[in-house]
Chain A
């Protein structure tokens, strides 16, 4: 009898769970992967390799690093960064405000749905970047046009995810507030707006990604300043290290702004189940 009871335990001992690698060693592997990629880049460009892809024309990591160091000390670099950030932040803020407001309106009011949805559904499939000519025609200033493109790009993911989040809210919360005497406004403020935040932040993350794609493209087409403009400018004057510096800058800025959105999202949705460990 005791033997039979002990058996499963013995079996468990034979197959120990795979030991999770320690956190430090995992970090080391991750860093090594990056270093290996840099080394490969260096080797291919230093050897002027032509393996179907023409690495002889691509600047190597040293050239890019040198150019990056030089640009970091120029006022122009920081002016471009600031300019792009202003465009992103204003376009994105407009998109967040209007996207959430209209998303809630369309999901909660039949009138708003009937009036707005047809128009929104007609415009939605048009990629924001295809609106550049219209933006140039419509807006007296270039700057406004670029912000408009950024706004349109971020607006639709935010609108759609907000609308979905409102429709997916469990009715029990609104019912509870109504039976406590709350009216429509109270349900909106106390149930809908807080309840949709997890879904809205999903849309904000996507929106921020698309906003960067579009601000950079719009700057390349019609900007006078900005990281996208400078990157394209570098390409036209055959300054290839400058192109790569622009690309990396855009990547870093995208990462930082998306990180900010994600951090804000986690802050306001701490009540979600399973958020304790974070």
Chain B
């Protein structure tokens, strides 16, 4: 399955009458790792929900691979910041979920789920319930569950936002590592500038009036780009920038 391109064209996104962002234009190239940063309430999560098909734009269009997104699809997996694992299912049974939906027979999906968990370093935790796992482990299960569905695009909403610095760094390495074997377009939302520059091929800063900065990240990012991102995030949001 080839990575999927995503696109927002003059998109107005919001809930009910309340538009979070209006007339947003954004192109996500197939296979790239795009990091979206921006102050709270500028529509980062809303944009991801629209790409996931959980939210219809009230104006403009949101497309995947050139086709209008009309609803959720296993092609586009969403990894949530808060705990989206089903608490009554063990780690393995959570990872089995996309496989069961796809109709993979029981034994095959058990084996495959166990493989994915081993891939994210949780071979020993297959039988544990989410509440028996640490925050970092739960996010690894979520990542394994998303990847088990073999998505062509991975939408990640501050997936490591609630983790401590050390766990976070380990998760960032793991993510890049796993993506090397399972290529997908990634849209990754974060508040953290360093995380953005470390992970992204490209970084976009969303402001109240659409895209405030759109820059490719070089292999060895210099302080100039960091300064530009910080400037785009604006002094007012300084407290959110680590």
A positions within 8 Å CB-CB of B: 172-173, 175-182, 186, 190-191, 194-195, 197, 269-273
Contacts and interface: CB of A to CB of B under 8 A. Distances in A.
Contacts of B83: 172
Interface in B79-121: 80, 82-89, 97-98, 101-102
Interface stretch (B34-42, B68-76, B199-207): B68-76
Contacts of B80: 172, 175-176
Contacts of A190: 86, 97
B87 to A, nearest CB: 5
Contacts of A175: 52, 54, 78, 80, 84
Contacts of A191: 86
Given A175-B78, A271-B131, A180 B53 contact: no
B149 interface: yes
Contacts of A182: 97, 101
B77 interface: yes
B145 interface: yes
B88 A273 contact: no
Contacts of A271: 87-89, 129-131
Given A172-B84, A191-B86, A194-B88, A179 B101 contact: no
B86 A180 contact: no
Q: How large is the interface on B (under 10, 10 to 19, 20 to 34, 35 or more residues)?
A: 20 to 34
A181 B86 contact: no
A270 to B, nearest CB: 8
B87 A180 contact: no
A270 B101 CA distance: 25
For the complex of A and B, list the 5 residue pairs with the smallest distance between their C-beta atoms, beginning with the closest.
A181-B74, A271-B88, A176-B84, A180-B98, A178-B72
Contacts of A195: 86, 88
Please classify the interface of chain A as helix (H, G, I), strand (E, B), loop, or mixed, using the class held by over half of its residues: helix
Nearest to B97: A180
30 contacts: A172-B82, A173-B86, A175-B54, A175-B84, A176-B80, A176-B86, A177-B97, A177-B101, A178-B54, A178-B71, A178-B72, A179-B72, A179-B74, A179-B77, A179-B78, A180-B97, A180-B98, A180-B145, A181-B73, A181-B74, A181-B102, A182-B97, A186-B101, A194-B86, A194-B88, A197-B88, A270-B129, A271-B88, A271-B130, A271-B131
B77 A180 contact: yes
A257 to B, nearest CB: 25
Contacts of A178: 53-54, 71-72
Contacts of B97: 177, 180, 182, 190
- Specify which of B54, B84, B88, B98 lies most central, judged by the most chain A CB atoms within 10 Å of its CB: B88
A166 to B, nearest CB: 16
Interface of B: 52-54, 71-74, 76-78, 80, 82-89, 97-98, 101-102, 129-131, 145-146, 149
Contacts of A270: 129
A177 B80 CA distance: 12
A269 to B, nearest CB: 8
A107 B197 CA distance: 45
Contacts of A273: 87, 131
A63 B235 CA distance: 86
A26 B74 CA distance: 57
A180 B131 contact: no
A181 B131 contact: no
Nearest to B132: A276
Nearest to A194: B88
B189 to A, nearest CB: 15
Contacts of B72: 178-179, 181
A157 B177 CA distance: 52
Nearest to A273: B131
A190 B52 CA distance: 20
Contacts of B129: 270-271
A264 to B, nearest CB: 15
A275 to B, nearest CB: 9
Contacts of A194: 86, 88
Q: Which of A180, A269, A270, A272 has the most CB of B within 10 A?
A: A180
A179 B54 contact: yes
Contacts of B84: 172-173, 175-176
A227 to B, nearest CB: 38
A272 B86 CA distance: 11
Contacts of B76: 179
B93 to A, nearest CB: 10
B88 A180 contact: no
A195 B89 CA distance: 11
A106 to B, nearest CB: 23
Contacts of B53: 178-179
A139 B72 CA distance: 50
Given A186-B101, A190-B97, A194-B88, A179 B131 contact: no
